[in-house]
Amino acid sequence: MEHFLEVGLSIIATGATGVFSYLVYRLKKHEERKDREDELRRQEALKTEQRRQAEYDNLRTALLALTHDRILQDYRYYKRNGKISTQDLGTINKLYAAYHALGGNGTITAIHDKILELPIKDGD
């Protein structure tokens, strides 16, 4: 009878070890799958951020070009007229500040300096 008890306990121990090993295996596979999914999410988040950054850079470049063009057009207009109003000068100064805040170079600085030299219209 004792022999049957030893055999039974041995079978139970072997079975428990097998079940435990299987559970550890499944847990490891689950964690590996979760890690792969997390990595895919990180990669997608990185791609999304890269797309957003590229879009931001493109918008910044376009805004910089438009601001540059606007200041240049205004300069040509006011140079032709020979005078500028204080209100228009204020608008150009705001555009000029935005242009440089966006990373504009010194090309417009010379134009802005010329605009500042224009006579101010009377009554404005």
Any residues with CB less than 8 A from the CB of 79 and at least 6 apart, and which? Answer: 114, 118
For 108, phi then psi, to 5°, come to -75, -20
Q: What is the DSSP letter of 105?
A: -
Helices 2-81, 107-117: axis angle to 10 degrees equals 40
Continuous segment of H or E residues that includes residue 42: helix 2-81
Tell whether the torsion through CA atoms of 49, 50, 53 and 55 is positive or negative. Answer: negative
* pLDDT at residue 25 is higher than 90: no
All residues at 6 or more sequence positions from 68 whose CB lies less than 8 Å from its CB, including other chains: 99, 104, 107, 108
Indicate the pLDDT class of residue 6, thresholds 50, 70 and 90: confident
**Residue range 45-102, pLDDT digits in tens:** 999 999 999 999 999 999 999 999 999 999 999 999 999 999 999 999 999 999 999 9
